[in-house]
């Protein structure tokens, strides 16, 4: 049985795609799954995280890393999924034909939406492409600010999208940026903190979706 492929996509940059990718990868690792991460973004943030992780862990990062351009995504995903339970794909901030191969290869598409109307507007193009490829989608509210009018408005508008909204919400926490820069996930740095609990809950939710 081949592994499942999760593609993380969002048209707007700065939405937290890489942060979501690395923390889900770590969460699934900690749950006993074998994981590979695939960076298709020329900016290479996921690759930088992986190399930092490998350096800090004496060359034993615990997961496999690969890169691919748009045309090579399908091949690389199939190759990685033959030997791993999960393949997590980080994509460039765009919603065009270059994104389609990653969407087409995926079993689930995650669309992070930071707490702003601009991020929310940017989801429309990605959701449209995912629908055309017939792929299930979960919108993940990210960097939320509880108790603010903006946070409430974005959450309400996100619920109106023509896509499933993940039950788990990720708050705007400094620990996400701190651990990313150290090549780790929040569960490895603050195992009992609220960020670790958020990621654990989201990973469980996603695993349940993939098993349906």
What is the DSSP annotation of the chain? Answer: -PPEEEEE--SSTTSSHHHHHHHHHHHHHHTT--EEEEE--TT-HHHHHHHHHHHHTTT--SSEEEE--GGGHHHHHHHHHTT-SEEEEE--S--STTTHHHHHH-SEEEEEEESSHHHHHHHHHHHHHHHHTT--EEEEEESB-TT-HHHHHHHHHHTTSSSEEPS---B--HHHHHHHHTT--HHHH-TTSHHHHHHHHHHHHHHHHHH-
Which residues, in sequence order, are CB contacts of 70 under 8 Å at separation 6+? 40, 97, 98, 99, 100, 101, 102
Could you give the domains of the chain?
A: 4-207 (3.40.50.300)
Please report, in tens digits, the pLDDT of each residue of the chain (212 residues total): 589 999 999 988 888 999 999 999 999 999 999 999 999 999 999 999 999 999 998 888 999 999 998 889 999 999 999 999 999 999 998 767 788 999 999 999 999 988 777 777 778 888 888 889 999 999 998 888 776 676 677 677 767 777 888 999 999 999 999 999 999 999 998 778 999 999 999 999 999 999 87
pTM of the model: 0.93
């Amino acid at each position: 049985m081949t592994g499942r492929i999760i593609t993380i996509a969002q048209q707007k940059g700065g939405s937290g795609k890489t942060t979501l990718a690395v923390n889900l990868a770590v969460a699934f690792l900690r749950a006993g799954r074998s994981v590979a991460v695939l960076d298709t973004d020329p900016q290479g943030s996921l690759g930088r995280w992986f190399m930092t992780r490998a350096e800090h862990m004496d060359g034993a990062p615990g997961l496999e890393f690969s890169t691919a351009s748009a045309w090579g995504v399908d091949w690389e995903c199939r190759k990685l999924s033959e030997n791993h339970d999960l393949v997590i794909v980080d994509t460039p901030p765009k919603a065009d034909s270059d994104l389609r191969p990653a969407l087409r290869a995926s079993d689930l598409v995650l669309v992070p939406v930071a707490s702003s109307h601009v991020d929310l507007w940017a989801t429309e193009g990605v959701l449209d492409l995912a629908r055309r490829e017939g792929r299930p989608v979960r919108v993940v509210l990210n960097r939320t600010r509880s108790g603010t009018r903006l946070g409430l408005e974005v959450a309400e508008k996100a619920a109106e999208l023509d896509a499933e909204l993940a039950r788990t919400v990720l708050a705007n926490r400094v620990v996400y940026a701190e651990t990313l820069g150290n090549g780790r996930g929040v569960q490895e740095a603050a195992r009992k903190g609220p960020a670790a609990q958020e990621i654990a809950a989201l990973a469980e939710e996603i695993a349940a979706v993939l098993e349906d």
